[in-house]
Structure 1
Amino acid sequence: MSADPSVPPAPSVRVLLADDQELFRRGLRLLLDAEDGIVVVAEAADGREAVARAVATSPDVVLLEARMPHRSGLEACRRITASVPGARVVVLSGSDDEADLYEAVRGGAMGYLLKDSTVEEVVQAVRVVAAGQSLISPAMALKLVSGMQPTAAPGEAPPRPAARLTDRELEVLRLVARGLGNREIAVRLSISENTVKNHVRNMLEKLGLHSRVEAVVYALRAKLVEVS
């Protein structure tokens, strides 16, 4: 059956790639451009250029390396999320340092993947984050919970007790930490999507968190969910 010509196609997810390794950047561009519904609109070779290109092109998703010259990717992440509110940042990095993960989350990143991720995992991350969900590489999630007690990273306040959450808010937090979006949570709990949004907002406010990614990190470090 052919597509209805009266129905406009869904807009492609517009992606900015920022990485100081040209070969990696160009290879990733070829792979993403080959995917339906994804188009790479710009590239950047360092953090400073990443911010300028993000401001100029207003991408939906920014994939950037944490450690780049002329302004780190993590600093670029903070500047991009502040200057281009519609852009969702995913750190795609060779660094598996937990400190980089924490800084990325505090800088507003919606996801954190390692460069040994498969092409399918990167494509999924672009689509998931563009839809407003969060995603952390399983390897990084495991580093957060492997042998850890819910104590703080250097310079970071310890996880706040989740006891102040209602049973439903705690249930929503666990599902958010497993990577489910609002619609999936609504189906799982047999409640409306608007009710889920209210629970997420209340849960973040009570815990003093600012994003779903912070909620994921909180839940992992407080051992409210298990990572297999």
Structure 2
Amino acid sequence: MKIVIADSHQLVREATACLLRSTMPGIIVEGASTGVEAMNRYADHTPDVLVTELLLPDYSGLELCKRVRQRWSRARIMFLSSIDDVGMVKQALGLGACGYISKNCRPAELAIALQKAVEGEVYLEHDLATQLAMVQLGGNGSIGSTGNRLADMTQREVEILILVARGISSQTVAERLNISVKTVANHLSILKGKLGISSALELLHFAVDSGLVQYGRKGSDGTASLG
């Protein structure tokens, strides 16, 4: 089995690779720190499964999933994320991901998820699967209002929310996503309407509360800044 792991943290990539090699003898693991690097690794190695975090420095795991699936329609993509939100699970599955598990999962569960992915099955961590089922049945389970609003957002809106909340300019967002600045502005306007907020500060607070970014220094590492 060949795996590519896309995560911005080297320690996470190497620890995950070490774990997989110890539990799945013969597995080949390649790492990537950005979405662009993950695309290149996929082209070079044609892995059985691409494992990605939701938050990457250049664009999100959702955008990576979309781009990989557009180029390789049979690609198997598994999310291994620190964000265990049912809204993100729905976004990922809607883009063709074959599974979603959190970084709080048992080590053995990752191996099981990868094996299921290779076999062509969809795998969700138990708690996430339960929450998703409850939402689909009309209940709210343990999902708060933030999660419900995330579930109503489109993939593009989530992408733009992550980048803008990181303090990245609309011009740079447009260049990264290959869209116009006007389109970015339109998405932001629609997004604010959906979320019922009116200012950039409220937008940042929502992104932080939902776990999409973290307070800290401004930059490309998934942190956010008010300045």
TM-score (norm 1): 0.58
Partner residue, 1:105? 93
The answer on whether the counterparts of 2:99 and 2:113 sit within 8 Å (CA) in structure 1 is: yes
Aligned with residue 44 of structure 2, among 53, 56, 65: 56
Q: In structure 2, what is the equivalent of residue 33 of structure 1?
A: 21
Partner amino acid, structure 2, of 1:22: Q
* Cα offsets for 1:59-81 (capped at 9, x unmatched): 00111101111011111011112
Counterparts of 1:93 and 1:38, CA distance in 2: 25
- For the residues of structure 2 that align with 1:30 and 1:105, how far apart are their CA atoms? 27
Deviation at 1:38, TM superposition (A): 4.7
Matched, 1:43 2:43: no
CA gap of 1:148–1:57, structure 2 versus 1, over 3 A, is closer
Q: Deviations over 1:157-203 (max 9, x none)?
A: xxxxxxxxxxxxxxxxxxxxxxxxxxxxxxxxxxxxxxxxxxxxxxx
Is the CA contact 1:16–1:62 (under 8 Å) kept in the aligned structure 2?
Answer: yes
Q: How many residues align?
A: 144
Structure with greater proportional helix content: 2
Please say if residues 55 and 80 of structure 1, whose CA atoms lie closer than 8 Å, have aligned partners that are also in contact.
no
Contact 1:65 1:73 in 2 (8 A): yes
1:99 CA displacement: 2.1
Q: Distance in 1 between matches of 2:69 and 2:136?
A: 30
Match of 1:154 in 2: 152
* Equivalent of residue 94 in structure 1, options 66, 70, 82: 82
**Structure 2 unaligned regions, length at least 5:** 140-147, 155-227
- Please, which of 112, 126, 134 is the counterpart of residue 138 of structure 1? 126
Mapped to 2, the partners of 1:112 and 1:89 lie a distance apart of 9
Given the alignment, which residue of 128, 143, 148 partners 2:116? 128
The whole-number CA distance in structure 2 between the counterparts of 1:58 and 1:50 is 11
**SS in structure 2 of the partner of residue 34 of structure 1:** helix
Partner residue in 2 for 1:22: 10
Give how far 1:14 is off: 0.7
CA contact (8 A) 1:47 1:69 kept: yes
Computed over aligned residues only, the root mean square deviation of the Cα atoms, in angstroms, reads 2.2
Change (3 A) 1:154 1:40: same
Tell me the distance in 2 between the aligned counterparts of 1:55 and 1:101.
25
Identity within the alignment, %:
28
- Distance change in 2, residues 1:88/1:82 (3 Å): same
8 Å CA contact 1:15, 1:38 repeated in 2: no
Q: Do the aligned partners of residues 38 and 146 (structure 1) sit closer, same or farther apart at CA in structure 2, a change above 3 Å counting?
A: farther
User: 1:21 and 1:149, CA in 2 relative to 1: closer, same or farther beyond 3 A?
Assistant: same
Aligned partner letter, 2:57: P
CA distance in 2, matches of 1:105, 1:41: 23
**Aligned ranges 1:204-223 → 2 under 5 Å:** none
AA partner of residue 154 (structure 1) = D
Letter paired with 1:79:
R
What aligned pairs does 1:159-170 form with structure 2 within 5 A after superposition? none
Contact 2:3 2:30 in 1 (8 A): yes
Q: CA deviation at 1:24?
A: 1.2
Structure whose alpha-carbon radius of gyration is higher: 1
Stretches of structure 1 lacking an aligned partner (at least 5 in a row): 1-12, 157-228
